[in-house]
Amino acid sequence: MLDAHKSAADATQVHDHYLKDTVYCGQCGERLIITNAKNRHGNVYPYFVCSGRHSGKTECTRQAMLIEDVERLIEKYYEMIEVSPGQHRIEAHHDEYASARANL
């Protein structure tokens, strides 16, 4: 009888994405989780949602964001990051270390 009454809400959902567990809400600092929304035509749209807002743990008002939009924002952020002069020195010696490692 219990098996007959199981619902989709009982199932654990897993949404894999390369940014999962690495992005956080800019408003409250909680982790962003992945959820899928389906429109009336059956199209599925993946979103990042603030886990604090979703669980009611915080009073966060951050709206859900399409994963595609979050990816674009992260790409723009990385375009602004400059490599330090020390990083250039490390890269310059990379080939030397690689050949030394090969000889060992």
For 48, residues 6+ apart whose C-beta sits below 8 A from its C-beta are 19, 23, 32, 33, 34, 64, 65, 66, 67, 70
Rounded Cα distance, 36 and 43, in Å: 10
Give yes or no for residue 52 having a pLDDT over 90.
Answer: yes
What does the mean pLDDT of the chain come to? 80
Give yes or no for residue 24 having a pLDDT over 70.
Answer: yes
Give yes or no for residue 12 having a pLDDT over 60.
Answer: no
- pLDDT for residue 51: 92
Average of per-residue pLDDT across 66-74: 92
- pLDDT for residue 92: 67
The CA-atom distances, in angstroms, between 7 and each of 27, 40, 55, 58, 67 are 33, 21, 20, 28, 27
Give yes or no for residue 8 having a pLDDT over 70.
Answer: no
- pLDDT for residue 2: 59
Cα three-residue angle 85-88-91, rounded to 5 degrees: 155
Average of per-residue pLDDT across 14-32: 85
